[in-house]
Amino acid sequence: MAIETTKTKIDFKVGDFVVYPAHGVGRITGIETQTIAGMTVELFVISFEQDKLTLRVPTAKARSGGMRQLATNKLMEDAIRTLGGRARIKRVMWSRRAQEYEAKINSGDLVSIAEVVRDLYRAADQPEQSYSERQLFESALDRMARELAALESIDRDSAVARLTDSLIKRTAAQAAA
């Protein structure tokens, strides 16, 4: 039997929070070995509590699959600063923009996710969002909030409040300008 080994050092350990692009923030709950198609493979077991999901990722493919450590404080500050910028909405069909927003959310890149939150945010005095816009906004905000919550050891609701405050300040500043 062949054993698939990692060529790079495993820099994730049990108990670490990690970001998996398609699912957001999860916690490594174990490292196990399974035989799959006659090969012995070492796997990270990642639990996504909010989604009630458990994912098994081969340790050798973790990095190439986009799994990463939580953002640094500086990267989180950059993402929050992105929320304060002016919304950039391309003049293309909504279906095309929706695909681009979905790709940004699933990229796992925190600043790209912040761009989606910024672009889709609507203040109370602005026109109502469509259902699909609201779904994409909520998805992006949730991804960002869960990473902020894990990074700063706060609950998700506090993280959402902090991000929403940044968005409200931006719209207030733009209205005053």
Domain boundaries along the sequence of the chain: 17-69, 73-176
**Confidence (pLDDT) at 174:** 67
**Confidence (pLDDT) at 63:** 85
For residue 84, what are the contacts with CB-CB under 8 A and spacing of at least 6?
A: 118, 166, 169, 170, 173
**Confidence (pLDDT) at 127:** 77
**Confidence (pLDDT) at 18:** 93
Instruction: Determine the topology of domain 17-69 in CATH.
Output: Thrombin, subunit H (2.40.10)
Say if residues 28 and 16 touch (Cβ distance below 8 Å).
yes
The H or E element containing residue 145 is: helix 131-152
**Confidence (pLDDT) at 176:** 66
10-residue stretch averages of pLDDT, the chain, 177 residues long: 44 89 90 90 90 89 87 92 86 92 92 94 79 94 94 93 87 67
Map residue 159 onto helix, strand or coil.
helix
**Confidence (pLDDT) at 138:** 94
Class of domain 73-176: mainly alpha
Task: Establish whether domains 17-69 and 73-176 are of one fold.
Answer: no
Closest CA to 140 of 171, 94, 107, 91: 107
pLDDT in tens, 33-83: 998 888 899 999 999 988 789 999 998 888 888 899 999 999 999 999 999
pTM of the model: 0.83
User: Which residue has 């409200």 as its token pair?
Assistant: 168
Q: Is 52 left (phi over 0), alpha (psi -120 to 50) or beta?
A: left
For residue 108, what are the contacts with CB-CB under 8 A and spacing of at least 6?
A: 19, 20, 21, 22, 66, 68
Closest CA to 145 of 129, 132, 133, 162: 162
**Confidence (pLDDT) at 131:** 92
Q: What letter would DSSP give residue 65?
A: T
